[in-house]
A and B are shown apart, each in its own frame.
Chain A
Amino acid sequence: MSAGIRRNWFWLAVLLALLTGLFCLGLALGSVTIPLRDAVGALLGRPASNPVWDRILWEIRLPRCLTAVLAGSALALSGLEMQTLFRNPLAGPYSMGISSGATLGVALAVLAGAAAGADVPGFLALRGIGSQLGVAGSAVAGSAIVMVLVLIVARRIQSNTTLLILGLMFGQMAGALVSVLQAFSSSEQIRAFAFWGFGSYAGVTWAQMPVLAGAVLAGTAMAALCAKPMNALLIGWTYARSLGVPIRKLRFLLLASTSVLAGAVTAFCGPVAFLGLAVPHLCRGLFRTADHRILIPACLLMGASLSLASDLASRLPGGGRALPLNAVTALVGAPVVIWVLLRRRAPKDD
């Protein structure tokens, strides 16, 4: 057993090192390249040799990288929770329509804001604590509503794929409602909303960081409380109950944690595809374990790393252009889903 524990610590350390490296690269690379020494120095409180670099680092790169870390770990963790809760390897905040629920929440909040006379692009940029909490709150509520719907259906439906398709349908319905809302919006609103829909870590400012970080911390704390009972859930609800797991409390905590994590990230960064679904599988493969006490920190580190790497890749074209973040995460995530599907078929044919 001790060999396994050493192995876990080794890989967690590797992931932490990877995350640190990617974070520094994220600070250094972009339309203006800043030497690593200055980038790291800025983190440690030394002023950079060029005052322009200083401003770029503190006002653009650092919040962007922090956002990538928070969003990536939150999405990965919510994906892990959903896969265990639904006992479905293809569950995730995006694939089961939770992100769409959050999107609907955001759209409603924006529309309500516009009706109340708020300036829409400004509202989506989430200036002011009121609009931040309003949009984040309605995104979390939208996520929770879709989660509850999927949970209700999941109690009647045994088939994993059927459940997944139903989740997709709930997502489609939420998406359709968003489109209907857009028909009543101005072209300016639509453009702001469409840009948000591509997903981006660039829009989060220091003023917004406490709300995002607070939501991610709260969601992570709830998930940490569930680590032990989630392990019991791996052998099914009936056995978990026979082991003394308080089923209702667990279901509620997982529902709340997932909605807060996925909802808050969607409110601030737009819907980000596939990270939540893919990262838990990569962690299970790397750590060769199903123990949530290891998978939770692993997913946090791996999700943050992959999210930073995707953000870096989206800046590749250079010259102020950027690829949509969603396109990059889909290119990383979709192959993982295909791999999971193909691997699951194999044992059945033996």
Chain B
Amino acid sequence: MTGGNLQETLAPLLRTENLAVGYRAARGSGGKNRDRQVLSGIDLELRPGELVCLLGPNGAGKSTLLRTLAGLQAPLSGRLLVDGEDFFRLPAEARARKTAIVLTERIEAGNLSVYALAALGRHPHTGWSGRMLAGDSAAVRRGLEEAGAWELRDRLFDELSDGEKQRVMLARALAQEPALLLLDEPTAFLDLPRRVETMRSLRNLARQRGRAVLLSTHDLDLAMRAADRLWLLPPGGPVQTGLPEDLALRGAVGSVFDQGDVAFDPSTGQFRIHGHPEKWAGLSGDPVLMLWTARALEREGFGIAEKDAPIRIAAERRDGAPAWECFDGASGRSLGIFPTLEALSTHLRG
């Protein structure tokens, strides 16, 4: 695949230069400089065809950054370039032809049918009367089909389920034919299979039509698997970007999310819940069994020790079936053989 190299050579669709985002103090509210700065010194790039996930703890400024990139609020300072043009110098309709956003907030849409709602995406493309030409209708149909909402077109929006509404709002954004698609937590209200499906289809949307897709999410695991690139927002710190794997290896993921007893474990790519074990156990045997045994032991409050642990557990397949044998660490005496992790846990507890 030359995709990676190709992307490197493409001009960025979006570039920020020393961007600071936040909320401006209301005009006439008295004292000066009461702007609330959420993030500053942001230098980022987005390329066509790229799916980027924006990750960070609550309050790190994900939504504020997305809203700024969508043109919904002006930056406090710095520049935002889209297709090489200063985004905030463009008229509102020209901005809306370049970027579209799908927000988390759930909306009520009165009497609007799904088709009529998706057709609102043509707003920045039609004339003053809003008359739809053949090209507009084709874009609406394509948006509905790409979002998997074409068969909903005659239903009333307010009668749909949350997941269906999400698809329709995505269809509306796609009908807008933006070069950059922004989504604020598109997977928040979905169950696991739909989350995976949503990510997969967003990835296709990015690849097939050369759009850039940027989405914020709390789903670290899914984001690390699906995203071409991550933007990590540590609270207060500078934004870190890179391939998910590079960021994990560099320890950047941990630095953003580690908190209290929760820690990111780069050796498994997952979060560990017990950060400070009081008991230790040694572990050996079959690699797959070891992975799951370690998780069961961690839940019981054990840390996995390299050597000199008071107990040692051998996890091996015996006659095809898994079995766990527990040894006293000092004497090497067997303490018993267990057919399941549940039996082992019960023994360790008691």
Contact = CB atoms under 8 A, between A and B. Distances in A.
A, B in one complex:
yes
Contacts of B96: 242-244
Interface in A234-274: 234-236, 238-239, 241-246
Contact of A239 (B91, B107, B159): B107
A241 B130 contact: no
Nearest to B112: A290
B279 interface: no
B222 interface: no
Contacts, number: 77
Interface stretch (A125-133, A144-152, A194-202, A224-232): A224-232
B176 interface: yes
Contacts of A236: 105, 107
Interface string A79-101: 00000000001000000000000
Nearest to B115: A1
A1 B71 CA distance: 33
A244 B116 contact: no
Contacts of B129: 227-228, 293
A244 B105 contact: no
B227 to A, nearest CB: 23
Nearest to A237: B72
Interface in B131-174: 137, 158-159, 172
A80 to B, nearest CB: 12
B130 A242 contact: no
Interface in B178-200: none
Given A243-B120, A290-B112, A228 B92 contact: no
Nearest to A249: B92
A231 B111 contact: no
B66 to A, nearest CB: 11
A187 to B, nearest CB: 47
Chain B: interface size category: 35 or more
A320 interface: no
Contact of A228 (B72, B97, B110, B123): B123
A1 B128 CA distance: 21
A284 B109 CA distance: 13
B14 interface: no
A235 B109 contact: yes
A347 B121 contact: no
Which of under 10, 10 to 19, 20 to 34, or 35 or more describes the interface residues of A? 20 to 34
Most B-side CB within 10 Å, residue of A227, A232, A284: A232
A284 B112 CA distance: 10
Given A227-B129, A241-B72, A242-B70, A235 B120 contact: yes
Given A231-B130, A245-B123, A347-B158, A238 B92 contact: no
A242 B71 CA distance: 7
Given A228-B130, A244-B123, A347-B158, A235 B117 contact: yes
Contact of B95 (A228, A229, A239, A244): A244
Given A227-B130, A228-B126, A232-B123, A238 B93 contact: no
Interface string A151-165: 000000000000000
Interface string B308-330: 00000000000000000000000
A290 B116 CA distance: 8
A227 B120 CA distance: 12
B103 interface: yes
A290 B93 contact: no
Contacts of A291: 116
B263 to A, nearest CB: 37
Given A1-B137, A244-B97, 18 more contacts: A228-B128, A228-B129, A232-B123, A234-B110, A235-B112, A236-B105, A238-B103, A238-B105, A242-B96, A242-B100, A243-B96, A243-B120, A243-B123, A244-B92, A244-B96, A290-B110, A293-B130, A347-B159
24 contacts: A225-B128, A227-B129, A229-B123, A234-B110, A235-B120, A235-B172, A236-B105, A241-B72, A241-B92, A242-B96, A242-B99, A242-B100, A243-B96, A244-B91, A244-B92, A244-B93, A244-B94, A244-B123, A244-B124, A245-B92, A284-B110, A290-B110, A293-B129, A347-B159
Interface of A: 1, 89, 225, 227-229, 231-232, 234-236, 238-239, 241-246, 284, 288-291, 293, 347
